[in-house]
Amino acid sequence: MGVLEGLKPEKVFHFFEEICSIPHGSGNTGAIAGYCKDFADKRGLYCVKDDYNNVLIKKNASKGREKCEPLMLQGHLDMVCEKNFDSDPRFDFSKDPLRLSVMDDYIYAKGTTLGGDDGIAVAYMLAILDDDKISHPALECLFTSDEETGMIGMTNFDASSIKATRMINIDNEREGEILVSSAGGRKVKCHIPVRYISGSGLSYDIIICGLLGGHSGSEIDKYRGNANLLMGRLLHYLSSRVKYELYYLKGGLQDNAIPREAKASVIIDPKDAAVFEDAITGFEMTVINEYRGIENNITIYCEAGETVNERVLSDKTKERVIFLLMTIPDGITKMCPESANIVQTSSNAGIMRLRDDYFSLIISIRSSISSEKEALSDKIRYLTETIGGEYIIESDYPAWEYSENSGLRDMVVKVYKELFGRDPHVTSIHAGLECGIIFDKVKGMDIVSIGPDIDDIHTPKEKLSISSTERTWRLLLRIMEMCE
């Protein structure tokens, strides 16, 4: 018996649980793409799986709906893989199924992200394709790969076979909200060459944890702490109080998730242990005060180890690494002048790693204005190259621009009000959506983005509302009925 058995809509939750049993983190979508392909083949549906693990499944119109214009449904196959430091260390996203649980109106995964973003879209599409009783126009269901790591799948998708001129993207996490535009983005890497020397002394691990994190698009306006940059600030703070050598530095798991945790390992003279520990405690109290009302569970602490001999960063290298972490633009750069509640331009230093020959900082840049995206990218490039680093653009995607005339938007607004007796919130989002890429590939594509309530995406607190999933299902069915 499945954990979600008995929840309604039954087929949606059946497929969602099946998806959760298949490892499908970004960069590991082969198995879930194969599952979708097998699903289509067993039902005799047209299906193409490309080399990027994108899957396109087409289904003919219901009887009597053959003259209706085709409709595309779209969502992505991959999920952000995050777990708590104190969760089961043996849990492996590359091979283990998610451990689902239900509490009240919510589904969550024990100790890890749930992948409701965007597993619920996959489940909705499979449930629709599986049910011949649902009334719909000809459908083109597109399951894309690696959205969370730069929209790689959609960027490389061959849209030449697409007949639909309207699309419902199911990658929004707020019920009652209809998205009609989104930001463009760029994923960049800053590589700083490093040099090691020999060092010895008392080892300490420094841990920053307990931060809320969240999606760097939809949550960037909450002013939550960035563990990577707090670690950089802490290392700078320590430099004026105690001599230390740095040999380990790591933080964050995804460029588009605000980092919740970071770790550094250092060596100090044993006689400085008390001063060192007091400095860590003092910094923790400072940060707790600064983030009061925003972050309620910040924890910054150190753990003493043994006397060790290690390869440590040279003083000049350490200085460059800390300089980058102290000066890199992060968070909101500009709010939208037309709407005080929408972020226009931002960046997120999502991943930092100290390697054998370089230090890397991976950053997600977003803006609804392409010139501002370029300007912020140039600023980070200039900063990186000035200290002898290499600046690499890994991926880039366009904004989904607002359309004055949208028949699909008007119809969805009408249907929502008829079903639920209230007007939906029609708005834009600072997060990047694949809508921008398909909008660029299929000229004139009429697009909206909807979805059920999913809280705390990209964090182990992620939870999917059961009742909201059911209401969004009803909305989808009604929209398909109304499509002409």
Token couple for 408:
């699909």
Three-class secondary structure of residue 144 per DSSP: strand
- Which DSSP string do the residues of 74-110 spell out, in sequence order? EEES-B---B-TTS-TT--TTTPPP-EEEETTEEEET
Report how far apart, in Å, the C-alpha atoms of 341 and of each of 75, 221, 276, 441 are. Answer: 26, 8, 42, 30
Amino acid type, 366: R
Contact yes or no for 94/23 (Cβ under 8 A): yes
Contact yes or no for 450/172 (Cβ under 8 A): yes
Max distance between CA atoms of the chain, in angstroms, equals: 84
Report how far apart, in Å, the C-alpha atoms of 414 and of each of 68, 166, 420, 426 are. Answer: 19, 17, 10, 12
Contact yes or no for 249/231 (Cβ under 8 A): yes
Residues 6 or more apart in contact with residue 371 via CB below 8 angstroms: none
Given the structure tokens 């060790």, which residue do they identify? 308
Instruction: State how beta strands 463-465 and 262-268 pair.
Output: unpaired
Instruction: Return phi, psi of residue 101, to 5°.
Output: -150, 155
Q: Which of 116, 141, 145, 155 is nearest to 28 (CA)?
A: 145
Q: Phi/psi class of residue 349: alpha, beta or left (left: φ > 0; alpha: ψ in -120 to 50)?
A: beta
Residue 297, burial from CB neighbour count under 10 angstroms (0-12, 13-18, 19+): exposed
pTM of the shown model: 0.77
Give, for all 484 residues of the chain, the pLDDT tens digit: 799 999 999 999 999 999 999 999 999 999 999 999 999 999 999 999 999 999 999 999 999 999 999 999 999 999 999 887 666 778 999 999 999 999 999 999 999 999 999 999 999 999 999 999 999 999 999 999 999 888 999 999 999 999 999 999 999 999 999 999 899 999 999 999 999 999 999 999 999 999 999 989 889 999 999 999 999 999 999 999 999 999 999 999 888 899 999 999 999 999 999 999 999 999 999 999 999 999 999 999 999 999 999 999 999 999 999 999 999 999 999 998 877 688 999 999 999 999 999 999 999 999 988 899 999 999 999 999 999 999 999 989 898 988 889 999 999 999 999 999 999 999 988 888 999 999 999 999 999 999 999 999 988 999 999 999 999 999 999 999 999 9
Q: Which residue segments constitute the domains of the chain, with CATH numbers given?
A: 10-171+433-482 (3.40.630.10), 187-397 (3.30.70.360)
Neighbours of 376 (CB within 10 A): 22
Residues 6 or more apart in contact with residue 67 via CB below 8 angstroms: none
Contact yes or no for 130/16 (Cβ under 8 A): no
Q: Which of 161, 142, 160 is nearest to 151 (CA)?
A: 142
Report how far apart, in Å, the C-alpha atoms of 424 and of each of 334, 405, 478 are. Answer: 27, 18, 15
Q: In whole angstroms, give the CA distance from residue 145 to residue 152.
A: 7
Structure confidence at residue 85 (pLDDT): 67
Q: Phi/psi class of residue 70: alpha, beta or left (left: φ > 0; alpha: ψ in -120 to 50)?
A: beta
Residues 6 or more apart in contact with residue 386 via CB below 8 angstroms: none
Structure confidence at residue 458 (pLDDT): 86
Query: Helices 116-130 & 10-20, crossing angle to 10 degrees?
Result: 130
Structure confidence at residue 86 (pLDDT): 67
Structure confidence at residue 87 (pLDDT): 67
**Dihedral sign computed on CA atoms, order 224, 230, 233, 238:** positive
Instruction: State CA 56 to chain mean position distance.
Output: 23
Locate all alpha helices (DSSP H) within 421-465, ordered by sequence.
435-441
Instruction: Return phi, psi of residue 338, to 5°.
Output: -80, -20
Residues 6 or more apart in contact with residue 130 via CB below 8 angstroms: 11, 15, 39, 43
